Structure 1
Amino acid sequence: MKRVFIILLDSLGIGYSKDAYKFGDKGSNTLGHIAEVCNKNIGNINRKGNLYIPNLTSLGLGLATKHASGKFPVGLDKNKKIIASYGYASSISSGKDTCSGHWEISGVPVLFDWHYFKKRENTFPNKILKKILLKTNIFGYLGNCHDSGTNIIYKLGEEHIKTKKPIIYTSSDSVFQIACHEKIFSVEKLYKISNIIRKILNKSKYKINRVIARPFLGTNRNNFYRTNNRLDITVKPHGDTVMYKLIKEINGKVVAIGKVSDIYSNIGITKSVKSFGIKNLFLQTLKYIKKSSNNSIVFTNFVDFDSLWGHRRDVYGYAKGLELFDSMIPKMIKILKSKDLLIFLSDHGCDPTWYGTNHTREYIPILLYSRNIKPCFIGHRKTFSDIAQTISSYFGLSKMDYGKSII
């Protein structure tokens, strides 16, 4: 029986990549810097001791980081017995966004440039805004600027409640975001206008990666918070992913947990499981590992590392999340069958010690565990697509256009 389980720790970069200077990210290192801050216990009286992730360390994460960045993460156990094959990969995609990273992992790198809305007083083009007002029947909007998701609802949430006008904004990523209060605007209405905006952008000259619906709750700026009803509406992948090939060529099954189905526009997915939070995502992953049959992929994205801690530059939150995740790994390894292939990796960096609030251009770890594979260093992989080629080879699928098989 052949099964693959992809465990993606969203934003866990392990050192700036060779081309990081193009993005202003030379010097970034998500895992390395988190470990350093924990070791020094900077500014947090509630935190004592080094970053404690013994299971990820035994899978080779520390050594992968050392090869990628030149430095073993401070505080991790250098003498830990290694039980998996480990290495690191650089991206050939043009951007450091979510879709580019995920698509490249699945064998479809993004070699073109997405469109990014410029940072100015009125961010979105008037032609687009006029079409949105006409097609959605909304009578106005707030925002129309660059901002973070938490900051903009703090600034404009109360006005939104009074006027019922959607808050529209973007970031350094290729995104069009809409924030609305769930009780004032309704999630259904927010989803509806988000899908309309997606169609408008698809027909325009603007190649925008994602339209993101961002619902929130609360009564005033002091207690507004974003809910788990977020919806990412992406463009469809421009090529056949390894998941799509698994379904098409051998009638396989792909279970997408968390935000994975959104990222791939539900292409190459046979079942989508919505779940939130490190613990719940892990439990859902365990459930579907136990349930999955021959020729199956279970693909889980642990988004909290990116959305809750990376973007918000919360070093200690990130560390605590890693430690919680790490503590549950033995449960996953215990239920694996002899031929199962378990892959831990990431999609980009989001160094919580770096300036700004954006992703960082970094190498990602690749940790391969299987009872049939002898642990070894798999080297520097020149593209994330080596993962897709490896999975394709494992299942006996037709060869992917990009990447080289690791096993």
Structure 2
Amino acid sequence: GVLGAPPGPRLRRAAAQAGGNPALLHELAAHWSPLIETTGGILAELRVSEAELPDPPASLPQRLGYLSRSAYTALRHAALLGPAFTPRELALVQGRPAREVLAALEEPLLAGLLEDTGEQLRFRHPALRLALYAELPRAARSALHQEAAAALAGAGHDPARTAEQLLAGGALDRRAVQWLADSTPSLIAAAPGAAAELLERAVKQADRADREALEGSLADAALMLRRPESAGLLATLHERAADPGARAALAFKLVSALMIQGDMGRALAVTEDALAEPVPSPALRLRLEACRVLALAERGSAAQARALAVPVVAKAARLGDPLCGAEAHHAMSFALFHLGRGRESLRHVAEGIAWARRGPEANDMRLLLLANQAEGHERFDEPEPVAAALREARELALATRSTGRLVVTE
């Protein structure tokens, strides 16, 4: 009735802000009416993206006049935490005992403003949360987000949640940069996108003494995200590095980035150069040798790759390192695959998976090998091992919140 035509896809998605409340939906539609275009009575659609919509009507929070001051304040602080939050997070942000926060949240829960999902409390009407958030002056929002980040970080909370607050809080202060430097590995694993965005900010703000380490972390995040700029960042850092161990580690990451981009020629060249230099770590040297096998096989020299893989597999067995063992057998399986020796390739895939199961540091390689195992058995029309490999891969991905693999070759 308000629109005069059925809503289009963008408008339907935006209407979800009402959380199914008809009166709230009517108010939102009236608020957006200058941005809604109706085509011949057939379709009503937003002329802008959802991200470009204005804040909800400032009158919406007036609907909450029946709440106590404590409950209303708790909701406003909860709005800073996003669409969903935990009572513990809100207690940390407000600096109040959990029992007081739970008491303050009882009113909005009973009123149906929040819903309990089991693990979190969620705003039932997203537009109401946005309106509560918009009530706060912009400068106050930034300060509150920074304070929330500090509270979450100080309690050792989930780094991804701390990162959300820092991203919303604007420029990073010294305390935030230090937290980022300390938390980068876990943050990249949990939320590489947020890590990359924060590291980009930190690099712009950092002095020369801190910039190199932050750029290295940014390259790691970009590598995890499969972003093309990771190779450029890593190449720059590799050129700067003087320490042999640091040079070798950066060379390995650079080779990984180049493989992800499909530039096997350059990956092989970087690998050969790295192996010609001192590599203090036997494990890292072996991993570079495994990369050489992969690059040679991909570039059509599968027989040479297979010959080089034999000593790599033997050295991995002597080292006893799970990641080295997994990568060595992956390299051999890849060379054999390119030689058309599918059954032998699958045997080495299974060996690699067995090595990877020995340590969590090999989880990403284990996922890659499980995918290769499923694909290999599918070629032989063997559905049971395909299903088993995919089941293990799904369970591992869920358990580790995996966001990617370091080296992608297939």
TM interval, shorter chain, is under 0.3
In the superposition, the TM-score normalised over structure 2's length comes to 0.22
Considering Cα pairs closer than 8 Å and 6+ residues apart, tell me whether 1 or 2 has the greater RCO: 1
The structure whose Rg is larger is 2
